[in-house]
Amino acid sequence: MSRGFGLAGLKRLRDLREAGAAGKLAVANADLSRGRRRAQQVSETAAASQEDVATGADLLAMTAARASNRSMLTEVQAHLASLQATADQAEAEHHEARRDAVIVEKLEQRHAMAAVRAELSAEQARLDEAAQRGHQGRRRA
């Protein structure tokens, strides 16, 4: 009878860490996608502004609107850069967690293969012993 995989607890821990990192990566990518859509909307809004200037007040209003749009676009782009950095960090953490989980998975596979080899070796020894007894029993008869 083979004993269980000694690192099963570590494997569960690594799998949980990987799942958590995958969840953080999914959230970061969703946030990044929303941020990109928001940046696109702000950019389109800025590009679609009316340029009908009839009076000096219209010119001042248009200038203020453009400055506001430019400021908003700069803010959105800074936020987008922050979201990208967060997504990159989450991807790196997921990659590291996956690498750690794979290491333990490979050890588990090696353990399983060694257990199978030991089981087959024990079975072969039993068969050899049975054959030896059968051969000795026929010689006596």
All structural domains of the chain with their residue ranges: 8-140
Query: How many helices and strands (H and E) does the chain possess?
Result: 2, 0
Pick the more confident residue, 138 or 112: 112
Going by C-alpha positions, the residue among 127, 122, 124, 123 that lies closest to residue 135 is 127
Q: What pLDDT sits at residue 2?
A: 60
pLDDT band at 50 (very low <50, low <70, confident <90, very high): low
Judge residue 97's burial from the number of C-beta atoms within 10 Å of its C-beta, 0-12 exposed, 13-18 middle, 19 or more buried: buried
Q: 56-140 and 8-47 helices cross at what angle (nearest 10)?
A: 160
How big is the chain by its Cα radius of gyration, in Å? 34
| Residue % of the chain over a pLDDT of 70 | 94
Rounded mean pLDDT of the chain?
90
| Total-model pTM | 0.72
Span 8-140: which CATH code? Answer: 1.10.287.1700
User: What is the maximum alpha-carbon separation in the chain?
Assistant: 125
pLDDT band at 141 (very low <50, low <70, confident <90, very high): low
Q: What pLDDT sits at residue 47?
A: 78
Average pLDDT over residues 66-80: 91
Residue 140 has pLDDT above 80, yes or no: no
